[in-house]
Amino acid sequence: MNAEPASTEEPSSAVQNLEHHECWAMLRTVSVGRLAIVVDGRPDIFPINYTVDGGTVVFRTGEGTKLSGASGDSPVALEADGVDPSTGMAWSVVLKGTSAVVRGTEEVLDTARLYLFPWQAGHKDAFVRVTPDSVTGRRFKVTDPLTWWTQHSSAAKSSPE
């Protein structure tokens, strides 16, 4: 299974790495990301609604979910992305670190003050803070920006005969 086909160096030329401050700036432009966690050695992934809070990211989740279980300094990876349809430039930022449930009245009060869109209209009462070890980002050209954000028509799926 380790067949190594063609080395196609140079995909990098189309990809720009983002500076650290650019990563944070991009993270602040959207509020929905996806969080990856490891459960029994296998990856799991969830959409989350987050807010940047001073070098960390905070999100809300329902009690008793896997995410509130992803509490005790669990390793996590959070990805957010977006695209500028006018330029066709997309970006993707990945934050790797650990997550912990926000505890203690003061910290919760602080966190509750954050502007957090509930990504789901149910009752949410756990806040989880992700403290990053690393934040990396890339900017790249997408051939069809619309396919990034919008649901595309069936034309996209029909196999070209």
Q: Taking CB under 8 A as the rule, does residue 57 contact its own copies?
A: no
Region 11-50 residues binding its own copies, contact defined as CB under 8 A: 11-15, 28-32, 34-38, 41-47, 49
Specify the residue, 55 or 143, whose C-beta has the smaller distance to its own copies: 143
Q: Taking CB under 8 A as the rule, does residue 92 contact its own copies?
A: yes
Specify the residue, 19 or 117, whose C-beta has the smaller distance to its own copies: 117
Q: Taking CB under 8 A as the rule, does residue 115 contact its own copies?
A: yes
Report the residue from 19, 75, 107, 109 that binds its own copies according to the rule CB under 8 A.
75
Report the residue from 87, 107, 109, 156 that binds its own copies according to the rule CB under 8 A.
156
Q: How far is CA 146 from the centre of its chain?
A: 19
Specify the residue, 49 or 131, whose C-beta has the smaller distance to its own copies: 49
